[in-house]
Structure 1
C-alpha cells in the first residue's frame, strides 16, 4: 500500500504545495466548482460519522434499557467509527481535495496510525458481534448466561488493544517500509504524506482483515440457516396450542433473528466498503504501487463512509434507536428519570 497525497507529476500549469520551499510536492488543482462539490460530499460523510455514532453511543449509555453486553459492543464499535470521523476523515478530506498534506510530518504518522487502529478495531468488533449473534440465535434461552458483561468487556478491550498496538508499532518502528527505502526517498517531498507498505506487511494487513471477515461470513451463513429452521418450526406450531414457555421462546427467537439480520446488513456494508481497498493494497504492493492517486482516494473514502453507514442502518432497522434519537434531539434526556424510559414497543 502506498498512501500518497500528491504523486501527480505532470500538470498543465505547475502548482506546488509550498511555492517558496525547495523539494515541495506538486499540487493537483481542481476547479473551484469541483472543489466545493468535493468538500460538500466528503464533509457530509464526516458530519454523519461524527453525529450518527455520537447518537448511538449516547443512546446505549444513557438509556438503562439498552444496557446489555451486546449493545455495549455496538457502542464501542460506534466509538471507533466516531473517532474515524473526528480524527481521520477531516485531515483526509483536505488531503484529497487539495492533494497536499498541510498538517506536518509527525501528524502524518499519527494520522496513518489512527486510520489503521480504528479500521482494525471495527473489524474485530464486528467479528465479536457476529459470535454474539450466533450464540443468541442458536441458543436464545441460554445466551444471557454465555455472553455476559465481563465477556463483552474482554472482547472490547482485546479489540482496542490489538488494533492500536499493531498499527502504532508498525508505523513507528518503520517496519512497514523495510526494503522500500529507495522508493520512499524518491517519493518524499514537502507537503506529502507517503506511507509505504512492503509485501510482507501488506499480507499481514490483509490477513488481519480476511480472517475475522471469514469468521463473520461463516457465522452469518449459519445464523440464517438456523433462522430459517426456527421460522418453519414456529409456523408449524402456530396452528397447535403452544405452552407459554414455547410462546416465550418463539418471541425471543424472533427478536434475536431480527437483530442478527440488521447486524448482517451492517457486515455486508462493511465488506463492500473495505474489500476494494484491501484487494488494491495487495495488488499494488506486488506490482510496484501503480494505483493512480485519484483511485486510491476513491478506495479510501469508500472505507471512511462505512463509519457513517452503521448509524443509518440502526436508524432504519431499530425502532428503539429512532425513539432514543427523538429523546436526545428534543432534549428530553435532560428530564429526571429519562434513563428509565421504555424504548421497546410490544411488537419488538
Structure 2
C-alpha cells in the first residue's frame, strides 16, 4: 500500500517534525501516513481503519445503551427505586460520560494519527478523560464501601443509609474527581505553549501530577476496594459456616421433636397428606371421606404443632408437613416461624407460608425439617454466588485499569520506555471497556435489573 509520502501532493503541513516528541518524551519515529479512500491521510491502512472504527464504535454503542438502560431501570422499575441503587446510577452516569465525551474523540485521534481539533478542545478532552474515568473508579469504591457497611453493620447502617447520606457520598465522589482532574487546567502540566496539528494531544507527563492523579484516581481506590472486598469475602464465608451449622441444628432439633408418638404422627401426616391431595384433586375422594377427615382433624387439632397447606374446610391451617413442589420452594417465611407463631390455645392458627406450585401433579408432602434444610441450602447457594460476584467485580476492575495506570506512572520516570501507538491505544481502550462492562457486571446478577431491562426493551418476561 502506498504511504502518504507517495501520495503525490505537498504533505509538508501534515508531516511530522523530527524534533517533536511523542508519548513519554520518546523521539517521534512514527510510521508513515497512508492514503485513504476518504481523500485524507490516515495513520493506518484503510482495512485497519475500518476494522478499528467498527470495533470501537460498537464498544461505544454498547456502553451508551447499557448505562442508559441502568439509569432508566432505577427510575422506572419500582423494585429498583431504593437508595443504594443511586450509587449504581452515579456509576452509570460516569460511564455514560466516558462513552459520549471521551471515546469518540479517541477513535478519531487513533485513526487520523494526529490531533486536528485545536488546543482548547484537547485540554477539555483530556480533562474530561481524567474526570469521568476517575468518577467511574471512585463510584466503584463507594459501592464497595456501601456493601461493606451493609454487611458488617446491617442494623445501624440501614438507619444511616438515608437518601441525603447517599447523595452526599455521590456528590463527594464527583467533587473529588474534579479536584483530581482540574490541576492541569490551572497550570500543573507540561503542555506546549504553541499547539499545531502535528502536536500530540496527550496527558501531561509532569511527574508530580502523575503521582498525585494516579494515587487519587486508581491506587488508593484499588487499595480500599481490595481491603473492603476481602473483608466482605471473609464475612460471607463466616456466614456460610454459621448457616451450615444452623441448618444441622434445625434438622436435628426438629427430628428429635418429631420422635415421640411416631404412630400418631404418622397417622397425622397421612391425614394431612390426604386432605391436601383432596383439595388439589377433588375428584379422587367422595363427600363421605371429606366429612370423616374433618372429624379426625378436629380431634387431633391440639396435637399438631406445625404444617402448611390448605385444610378441607377451605381455611389455611398450620399442619405438620410442609408442602412443596418438586423443583421450587417458597422464599418467604420458614416453617419454624410458622410453628413458633402458633397460639397456645390453637384457636386461631397462623397461616403458613404459601408455596409456589409448578403443577398440581408434582406436589408432595415434605417434613418441616427437610423444608428448613432446603431453605438453608438455597441461602448458602446465594451467599456463594455473591462471593463469586465480588471476585468478578474485582478481577474485571484490575484487568481493565491496572495496565493503563502502570504505563501512566512508569513512562514519565523511564525516558527509554517508548511503547508503540497501538499498544498505547490498546491499553487505553482496555480501561475504557470497564465502563462497558460495569452495567453488565452490576446488573446481570440481579433479577430485578434483568426484569427491568426486558420491560424497557419490550421483551417477553
TM over 0.5, yes or no? Answer: yes
Alignment-derived partner of residue 93 in structure 1: 107
Q: Distance in 1 between matches of 2:23 and 2:196?
A: 13
Contact 1:11–1:28 at 8 Å: present in 2 too?
no
Contact 2:189–2:204 at 8 Å: present in 1 too?
yes
Q: Distance in 2 between matches of 1:257 and 1:75?
A: 26
Alignment-derived partner of residue 57 in structure 2: 43
User: How far is the alpha carbon of 1:3 from its aligned partner?
Assistant: 5.8
Per the alignment, do residues 12 and 111 of structure 1 end up closer, same or farther by CA in structure 2, a change over 3 Å counting?
closer
Secondary structure of the corresponding residue to residue 116 of structure 2: coil
Alignment-derived partner of residue 58 in structure 1: 72
Contact 2:397–2:434 at 8 Å: present in 1 too?
yes
Contact 1:48–1:308 at 8 Å: present in 2 too?
yes
User: How far is the alpha carbon of 1:299 from its aligned partner?
Assistant: 1.1
Alignment-derived partner of residue 359 in structure 2: none
2:407 aligned with 1:280 = yes
Which has more helix, going by share of residues? 1
C-alpha distance after superposition, 1:28-82 (max 9, x if no partner): 6322111111011111110111110000111012223212222110110010001
2:187 aligned with 1:174 = yes
Alignment-derived partner of residue 213 in structure 1: 222
TM-score normalised over the length of structure 2: 0.61
Contact 2:243–2:380 at 8 Å: present in 1 too?
no
Secondary structure of the corresponding residue to residue 11 of structure 1: coil
Contact 2:98–2:132 at 8 Å: present in 1 too?
yes
Secondary structure of the corresponding residue to residue 69 of structure 1: coil
Q: Distance in 2 between matches of 1:46 and 1:280?
A: 23
Q: Distance in 2 between matches of 1:13 and 1:304?
A: 26
- Selected match of 2:157 from 143, 147, 168: 143
Per the alignment, do residues 138 and 314 of structure 1 end up closer, same or farther by CA in structure 2, a change over 3 Å counting?
same
Alignment-derived partner of residue 128 in structure 1: 142
Q: State the superposition RMSD in angstroms.
A: 3.2
Contact 1:69–1:152 at 8 Å: present in 2 too?
yes
Q: Distance in 1 between matches of 2:384 and 2:167?
A: 23
User: How far is the alpha carbon of 1:122 from its aligned partner?
Assistant: 1.4
Alignment-derived partner of residue 204 in structure 2: 196
Per the alignment, do residues 214 and 189 of structure 1 end up closer, same or farther by CA in structure 2, a change over 3 Å counting?
same
2:235 aligned with 1:108 = no
TM-score normalised over the length of structure 1: 0.80
Q: Distance in 1 between matches of 2:180 and 2:436?
A: 24
Q: Distance in 2 between matches of 1:29 and 1:7?
A: 17
Q: Distance in 2 between matches of 1:70 and 1:255?
A: 20
Contact 2:396–2:434 at 8 Å: present in 1 too?
yes
Contact 2:131–2:180 at 8 Å: present in 1 too?
yes
Alignment-derived partner of residue 280 in structure 2: none
- Selected match of 1:267 from 394, 397, 400: 394
Alignment-derived partner of residue 246 in structure 2: 237
C-alpha distance after superposition, 1:115-151 (max 9, x if no partner): 1001111121111111111122223344311322222
2:434 aligned with 1:306 = yes
Contact 2:184–2:204 at 8 Å: present in 1 too?
no
User: How far is the alpha carbon of 1:236 from its aligned partner?
Assistant: 1.5
2:235 aligned with 1:222 = no
Q: Distance in 2 between matches of 1:320 and 1:195?
A: 40
Aligned residues between the structures: 314
Structure 2 residues not aligned, in runs of 5+: 1-21, 251-333, 339-371
